[in-house]
Amino acid sequence: MKGLDVPSVSERDHTISNPVIPGFHPDPSICRAGEDYYLACSSFEYFPGVPIFHSRDLVHWTQIGNALDRPSQLRLPSGTPSSGGLYAPTLRHHDGRFWLIITNVSSDGNLLFTATDPAGPWSDPIPLPGVHGIDPDIAWDDDGNCWCTVAGVSQVRIDPRTGETFGESRRLWSGAHGAKAPEAPHLYRIGDYWYLLIAEGGTERCHGVSIARGRTPGGPFEPCPDNPILTHRGTDRPIQNTGHGDLVQGPDGSWWMVFLGVRPRGGTPGWHVLGRETFLAPVSWVDDWPVVGEVSPTMAPPPWPLHEPALAPVRDDFDLGELAPAWVSLRSRPAENCTTSERAGWLSLRARGESPDDPEVTFVGRRQQHLSCRARVLVDPAEGCGGLTVRLDEEHHYEIEATPGQVRVLARIGPLRTVVAYRATATGPVVLRIGVAVTEKVTDARQGPDTVSLGVEDAEGTFVELAALDGRYLSTEVAGGFTGRVLGMYASTGTVHFDWFDYGPLED
């Protein structure tokens, strides 16, 4: 399986596409080490946790691993709800090491990890029992003191090597104009000031980024007179919910912000289905305050050479001994339930949950990254029952499921679960397919964002559609929560074998 898809560069107008990391990659945190940039995102209930990306140009990103890829690092109990788990990492490079601090809201609270190589391995967790709150940030002052700042916004000094805290937590500046949910704090020393960057307004349509500055890490902080410095609230721009930003300086001295946003489609109120994605914007400085540049689906590239983009589609023939880092499972991935060694060149999934309704279902998937796309898989159901699903959570998913000699399409929407269609097939392996087609023209205010087609491919490779379902029911605006769609394979009974998985974009 090749790397995640990346933005294209147009030779005609020399622009790049935004988001720079498409699909369900929220809460980005970025750091630079020499000429290299590294970025981490939230992963919630998925295992392994916290995808780590690398770039040399801020535009083309390659996933190089997951920071939390061992059970000793990531505990997601069976009761972990969807949109629980891991929230809002901060990734920093300091004193020759990489530092990652994050909240596991479902079990262990705030945790700190270190690595000499961001591709891993990362250390086992250092617990931070004295740090209370989510979205932790770490920053070091000139005396070597390490300050941890959390949503709220409050701060405490810590020993990052032991997790010990010193003194009482103290309140800092909590945002502009009394907006709700001051969170995602990041603290920086830039020039003569310490800057406190936060998100506020909630992570929905009123999301935004504000900033304040002071002479010490603990303030007092003076708010920027132009707060919020980034928001799309109250606009009709195609990118919405912009917030949760992090700043980085390029080797040439230029400044940039990565932040999350969504791309709602369809009628009213607009539905976003890919989750919150990672966007990029240039930053300039005026009177010692940052000014965020225009945010749009296309932007001028940074003033340095760009990589060649990775090629799509993405296909995995399961020929390696372990799964590529883009593959995720739900809460854990026991080796006895998921292996590429049982049948050479196949992924074998052994059922432990009865269906994608079950939090314990055996599942391996990848994030949907394109508004229009298709996923295909060759499945052998001779020893069980399973198939291909597009999932938002346990209560919102569609699947095409195979048993020997038959396939069926199922839909789960809230409390309702139904069999939509059946089709007899030849005994033996069968190619299942899910296609997503974005709504091109809205003719009705109630029109959904896209259509999800589910079916099979016949012996000649022709797609036979069994059902076309409204995509709005697999959106955050319907289901709630913080995640986006994930396409993948599952087993509901017995053992199901998958020869290959192929994903690719369609024309958006």
The count of residues in the chain is 508
For residue 116, give both structure tokens. 């000499």
* CATH (residue range 314-505): 2.60.120.200
What is the mean predicted confidence (pLDDT) over 333-343?
96
Q: Are 429 and 378 in contact (CB under 8 A)?
A: yes
pLDDT tier at 459, thresholds 50, 70, 90: confident
pLDDT in tens, 197-245: 999 999 999 999 999 999 999 999 999 999 999 999 999 999 999 999 9
CA distance 377 to 429: 10
Give the Cα separation of 44 and 391 in Å (integer): 14
Q: What pLDDT is stored for residue 15 in this prediction?
A: 85
452 close to 369: Cβ distance less than 8 angstroms: no
Q: What is the number of alpha carbons within 13 Å of residue 171 lying toward its C-beta?
A: 5
Whether the pLDDT of residue 164 is over 80: the answer is yes
Expressed in angstroms, the distance from the first to the final Cα of the chain is 23
* Domain range list for the chain: 16-299, 314-505
Q: How far is CA 58 from CA 32, 36, 159, 220, 293, in A?
A: 10, 9, 31, 33, 15
Catalytically active residues are 27, 183
Question: CA-to-CA distance for 426 and 331, rounded, in angstroms?
Answer: 35
| φ, ψ of residue 474 in degrees (nearest 5) | -110, 50
β 430-438/373-380 pair status: antiparallel
| pLDDT single digits (tens) 345-369 | 999 999 999 999 999 999 999 999 9
Residue 278's beta-bridge partner residues? Answer: 21, 260
Q: Which residues pair with 46 in a beta bridge?
A: 330
Q: Is the peptide bond before 71 cis (omega within 30 degrees of 0)?
A: no
Strands (E), 34-122: 36-40, 46-47, 49-55, 62-68, 86-94, 97-104, 109-115
CA 144 from chain centre, in angstroms, equals: 32
For 63, 455, 456, 500, the CA distances from 462, given in Å and listed in that order, are 33, 10, 8, 18
> pLDDT tens, 251-288?
999 999 999 999 999 999 999 999 999 999 999 999 99
- The per-residue pLDDT for 311 is 55
| Dist CA 475 CA 95 (whole Å) | 42
Q: Residue 236: CB partners within 8 Å, gap ≥ 6?
A: none
Tell me the pLDDT tens digit for each residue of 173-195.
999 778 999 999 999 999 999 99
The CATH code that applies to domain 16-299 is: 2.115.10.20
- Each residue's pLDDT tens digit, 301-322: 899 988 776 555 689 999 998 9
Mean of pLDDT values over 63-69: 97
Q: Report DSSP state, residue 473.
A: G
d(CA 224, CA 240): 22
User: Collapsing DSSP states into helix, strand and coil, what is residue 471?
Assistant: helix
Q: What is the mean pLDDT of residues 479-507?
A: 96
Q: How high is the pLDDT of residue 310? A: 54
Q: What angle do CA 88, 47, 70 make, to 5 degrees?
A: 100
**pLDDT mean across residues, the chain:** 94
- For 170, other C-beta atoms within 10 Å of its C-beta total 11
What mean pLDDT is predicted for residues 139-145?
97
